[in-house]
Amino acid sequence: MPSVKAALSKPFAKYIAKRIKKWASKPIETQQKVFNHLIAEAKHTSFGKDHNFTAIKTYEDFKTAIPIRDYEELKPYVERVVNGEEDVLWKGKPIYFAKTSGTTSGAKYIPITKESMPTHVEAARNAILMYINETGNSKFVDGKMIFLQGSPILEEKNGIKLGRLSGIVAHYVPKYLQKNRMPSLETNCIDDWETKVEAIVEETINEDMSIISGIPSWVQMYFEKLIEKSNKKVGDIFKNFNLFIFGGVNYEPYKAKFENLIGRKVDSIELYPASEGFFAFQDKQNEKGMLLQLNSGIFYEFVEAEHFYEENPLRITIADVKLGVNYVMLISTTAGLWCYNIGDTVEFTSLKPYRVIVSGRIKHFISAFGEHVIGKEVEQALRVASENTSVSVNEFTVAPQINPNEGLPYHEWFIEFENEPNNEHDFIEALEHSLQEQNSYYFDLIKGKVLRPLKVTKVKKDGFQTYMKCIGKLGGQNKIPRLSNDRKIADILYQLNLTK
């Protein structure tokens, strides 16, 4: 017999699905409302006055008044907010800062306001409700659920709380889920990731886990420790585990490994959350891509990635995007981010409704010779090669080798295999063929003998975990870049003797 909670979730899911369908079916109108609201609410802020918001009537006005900015360029305004000043980027003061580690600027402080905070919580909730509405499966709400996340302990800076986004969101778990939620607060507050995972295993191994959520690479570590302790597959330990919720990286490279660890297939929901906003979630089990959240206080703009570094790249709204084009996504939000480059690239998989996949990072690509290989392409190549050769992979990254000791330059793939290929030549050939098929620039460079075909370098078991630990980024929301345009990661892997 389903519980009252499980039974009530179905009509609520149906109601939410109707509301989502209403705005998703009027996308341009929905985004225009968000745009108007943002300009009206922020015109008396310092940023609004500096950029003459009172004169902005149209999107063209907006483009003229507000340039594209990344964190570094917005930092002078953010620092004023951090120092306690009001009405700078958004009215009043933020209620939180999501603290993230920046590559060039040290710690980054991303404001979260009273108006933007609920959108983070509602999008995560709605993703689950859309799943219930589509599948009719609601039994899992009676089981235990876990989200592998950062510590919920928050610091304070000039009266504003700050911490990791996942730690902030942990304070907003609805009361009706509090009894089901794991791990305990005490365990969640453990800083050291390996110690934390061990404690989570102890707490959860005898529980009825039905939902498990987190970044795939760190959930994998949790699963492996469960199996080590019990000598059972995860699906046998947790008989009612039937929903995996993930975000942060593409699940495809992990899928075969996860099915092996679990011992059966489970449904999954992909999320696209970030400190700057909750942008999309998977709304259909059999549709590619995630539904872009057009009604969440975020106004979206897009620039074709291949033109992004030109002097005045063309900025467009959802009204003008096309399927299959690699776009840099820019956002303006109720947290006071304005035409802000979050660094992600996306591709649209559907325009009715608007669905996206994350194709990579604008700074994470290889274009040492003009090939502009992106994350989506290497992930697809690995998926194809793995399927064709019954290989499973734990983790990987790709880097250019510009100055080899002999021969032509090449792309070097660092792969930590779970099951190594029986025929390494066939595996490499499948990788190479898929990449050439997807990327005509890469194909031309190989054909023109500017590059030679890729090389695979095997990484020792847990080598990438050792690497992440070495750079102080083990666990939490940290992840290995799929590719780099330099050899920083490659050099450390060799220095630490992590390759075979």
Q: Please tell me the predicted confidence (pLDDT) of residue 103.
A: 44
414 lies in the same domain as 358: no
Model confidence band, residue 84 (pLDDT cutoffs 50, 70, 90): very high
What per-residue confidence (pLDDT) applies to 106? 64
Q: Which letter, b or e, does each residue of 193-204 get, where b requires 16 or more Cβ atoms within 10 Å of its Cβ? A: beebbbbbbebb
Cα–Cα distance, 396 to 459 (Å, whole number): 8
How many CB atoms sit inside 10 A of residue 230's CB?
A: 14
Q: Could you tell me if residue 273 is inside a domain?
A: yes
Q: What is the pLDDT of residue 1?
A: 55
Domain CATH number, residue 435: 3.30.300
Q: Do 416 and 269 lie in a common domain?
A: no
pLDDT 10s digits, 465-487: 999 988 887 776 678 888 888 89
User: Any bridge partners for residue 245, and if so which?
Assistant: 213, 269
CA distance 397 to 376: 12
Is residue 42 within 8 Å of residue 48, measured between CB atoms?
yes
Structure tokens at 464: 């990438």
The candidate with the shortest Cα–Cα distance to 63, out of 315, 235, 415, is: 315
pLDDT of 8 reads: 82
Q: Pull the structure tokens for residue 470.
A: 């070495």
Average pLDDT over residues 213-229: 88
* Residue 477: count of CB within 10 angstroms of its CB: 22
Q: Specify the pLDDT at position 77.
A: 97
Q: How confident is the model at residue 348 (pLDDT cuts 50, 70, 90)?
A: very high
CA 386 distance to own-chain centroid: 23
Say if residue 305 is in the same domain as residue 288.
Answer: yes
Question: Does pLDDT of 102 surpass 60?
Answer: no
Which residue type sits at 378? Answer: V
| Highest mean pLDDT, choosing among 162-171, 212-221, 234-243, 469-478 | 234-243
Q: Could you tell me if residue 312 is inside a domain? A: yes
| Residue 125 Cα to chain centre, angstroms | 17
Name the phi and psi angles at 4, rounded to 5.
-60, -40
Q: How many residues does the chain have?
A: 500
Whether 182 and 274 share a structural domain: yes
Tell me what percent of the residues of the chain surpass a pLDDT of 70. Answer: 97
Q: Is the pLDDT of residue 387 over 90?
A: no
Give the count of beta carbons closer than 10 Å to the beta carbon of residue 382: 25
Q: Could you say which DSSP state residue 368 is in?
A: T
* Distance separating alpha carbons of residues 228 and 86, to the nearest angstrom: 52
Taking 60 as the threshold, does the pLDDT of residue 45 lie above it? yes
Q: Is residue 132 part of a domain?
A: yes
C-alpha dihedral (123, 305, 416, 432), degrees to nearest 10: 130
Domain contains 500: no
DSSP type of residue 313: P
Find the DSSP H helices in 172-309. Answer: 175-178, 185-188, 193-204, 216-230, 234-237, 252-262
Same domain, 347 and 397: no
Provide the residue range defining the domain that includes 233: 1-362
Q: What average pLDDT does range 46-51 have in this prediction?
A: 97
- 227 and 280 in a common domain: yes
Domain presence at residue 15 = yes
Dist CA 433 CA 491 (whole Å): 27
d(CA 140, CA 7): 11
Dihedral pair phi/psi, residue 295, rounded to 5°: -115, 30
Both 310 and 324 in a single domain?
Answer: yes
Indicate if 394 and 477 belong to the same structural domain. Answer: yes
| The predicted structure's pLDDT at residue 104 | 43
Strand bridging mode 267-274 / 243-247: parallel
Picking from 328, 362, 396, the residue at the C-terminal end of a domain is: 362
Q: CA-to-CA distance for 432 and 446, rounded, in angstroms?
A: 10
The two three-digit tokens of residue 413, written as one number? 């793939």
Please enumerate, as own/partner, the contacts of 417-424 that have beta carbons within 8 Å and a separation of 24 or more: 417/391, 417/392, 417/393, 417/458, 418/257, 418/260, 418/392, 418/393, 418/394, 419/390, 419/391, 419/392, 420/391, 420/458, 421/389, 421/390, 421/391, 422/389, 422/390, 423/389, 424/456
Could you say which of 318, 346, 362 is where a domain stops?
362
- Domain match, 388 and 434 both: yes
In the block, tokens 């559907």 appear at: 350
Structure tokens that stand for 5 in this block: 């909670």
End of a domain among 324, 344, 362?
362
- For residue 476, what pLDDT is reported? 63
> pLDDT tens digits for 109-133?
999 999 999 999 999 999 999 999 9
Q: Is the pLDDT of residue 430 over 50?
A: yes
Q: For residue 265, is it within any domain? A: yes
The domain tally of the chain equals 2
Same domain, 308 and 384: no
CB neighbours of 8 closer than 8 A, spacing ≥ 6? none
Distance of CA 443 to the CA centre of its chain: 29
Tokens of 14: 């149906």
195 in the same domain as 336: yes
Helix or strand (DSSP H, E) at 127: helix 117-135
Spatial separation of the C-alpha atoms in residues 151 and 163, rounded to whole Å: 8
Query: CA-to-CA distance for 337 and 333, rounded, in angstroms?
Result: 5
Element (H, E) at 384: helix 375-389
166-175, 209-218, 301-310, 314-323, range with the lowest pLDDT: 166-175
Together in a domain, 64 and 189: yes
pTM of the model: 0.82
Average of pLDDT values for 25-54?
97
Domain CATH for 288:
3.40.50
What's the farthest any 2 CA atoms get from each other in the chain?
69
| HSE toward the beta carbon, residue 339, CA cutoff 13 A | 19
